[in-house]
Chain A
Amino acid sequence: MNTSKKNIEYQIKKQIDEREIAPSRDLWSEIETQTQINNNSQTKKINWFLVAACLVLTLSLGAVLFFDKDSKPSVQVAETNNTEVLKENPVKAEVINSPEIIQQNQGKYVELKSVPPQSKSESGTPEMIAEKKELPIIKENSKEIAAQISQIPAEKILAKADSAKVQVKKKRYVDPSTLLFSVEHKDVIEKTKGGSNVATIDLNTK
């Protein structure tokens, strides 16, 4: 470009650079409204992002909770089983220890049952083995037990049977000896009005 001061282009540039034109109307109010609209639209965009983020968060939380629920029951079942076993053991120990029928009988039984519950409760599995071992012994000597029972007065047996029942109801445990007795002597057992089972034994027959 020719930069001569006499040049027409130079004069045009100079005049345009120097001049200022005042607006014929209030342009600021229009700019202000348009910028506000822009800002609002921007905030709306941000809000949408927030909403999306919240949705993702809630979904992920829900998923985590859902899977937790799924996984927890298996763990709980395992726990409850353990607790049941643990709970059952003392009961069994009690049951094993409690029946007077067996206590009065053989020395073997006494030895077995007189084992302190603490030693039994030390480990779960040995108890189970002990129980398993006990059952056949009871089976073997069932006749003797029956004979022993016959010696005990009927009132006592009735009370024992009731107490055993109550235990069963409470702890949902059936005493193996009473169960065995009830199976072997079905004829003897009768139901009373109260709903309890009563075993009537003829003392004369041995």
Chain B
Amino acid sequence: MKLLFNNKKEDLLSRLKKQDPAAQKIFYDQSVKKFLSVAKSYISDIYQAEDCVIKAFCKIFKHIESFRGEGNFEGWARKIVVNECLNFIKSHKTVFYLDDVHASVLEEIHDEQIVFDFNVQELLDQLPDAYRMVFNLYVIEEYSHQEIADTLNISTAVSKTQLFRAKEKLRKIYFQQQKKLKNEHI
């Protein structure tokens, strides 16, 4: 069964490499919702996120020949979506990275217990672009600080600071959200 699935994937990939429109449509249908979710985690505006997804799909179809089959094709395509979103933020918005924070302060953060469900998008939308980019790359895409530094053209120290501040901010927003939810429940 697994073999069959893999064969189907390989077949789709080979058809995509031949610029087959039917295969492109299949791939679009399979991944548009996922890609839009990824794009929305970086860009709060849905229309702008959709524009990025369109551009990302075009890039995927255009540069599919450069995918050599090393690793997961979906992961490769997702990376293109992420890069497209980052490029959009860089070109359309001025991103401010705050100063370094002392390393000892970074270690003082303690995890709070997450009890209630919460709206992720609401939390992320309230983060500044610089925080959100670093947080998403570190937490969702699982980049290292060095990779983030290379991608965003910043130092690793700045990357760490942004992540610390992003987490701090998220907690504040989260507890505000929780308070609201508690009040609604009562």
Residues of chain A touching chain B, judged by Cβ–Cβ distance below 8 Å, are 1-2, 4, 6-9, 11-13, 15-17, 19-25, 27-28, 30-32, 34-35, 38-39
Contact sample, A vs B, 11 pairs, CB 8 Å cutoff: A7-B114, A8-B170, A8-B174, A15-B120, A21-B37, A21-B40, A21-B46, A22-B33, A28-B32, A31-B61, A35-B58
CA distance A25 to B112 in the complex (A): 39
Chain A residue nearest to B138 (CB atoms) is: A1
State how many angstroms separate the Cβ of A83 from the closest Cβ of chain B.
63
Chain A residue nearest to B136 (CB atoms) is: A16
Contact present for A11 and B114 (CB under 8 Å)? yes
Over the window 20-38 of chain B, the binary record of Cβ atoms lying under 8 Å from chain A Cβ atoms (1 yes, 0 no) is 0100110010001110111
Contact present for A4 and B54 (CB under 8 Å)? no
- Chief secondary structure at chain A's binding surface: helix
Instruction: Confirm or deny: B146 has a beta carbon within 8 angstroms of a beta carbon on chain A.
Output: no
Instruction: Confirm or deny: B5 has a beta carbon within 8 angstroms of a beta carbon on chain A.
Output: no
Extra 6 A-B pairs, beta carbons < 8 Å, given A16-B120, A35-B21: A9-B135, A11-B118, A15-B120, A24-B46, A38-B61, A39-B19
Contact present for B111 and A4 (CB under 8 Å)? yes
Q: When A16-B38, A31-B28 are in contact, do A8 and B111 touch as well, CB less than 8 Å?
A: yes
Instruction: Confirm or deny: B165 has a beta carbon within 8 angstroms of a beta carbon on chain A.
Output: no
State how many angstroms separate the Cβ of B25 from the closest Cβ of chain A.
7
CA distance A38 to B171 in the complex (A): 45
Q: When A25-B50, A39-B19 are in contact, do A8 and B120 touch as well, CB less than 8 Å?
A: no
Chain B residue nearest to A7 (CB atoms) is: B111
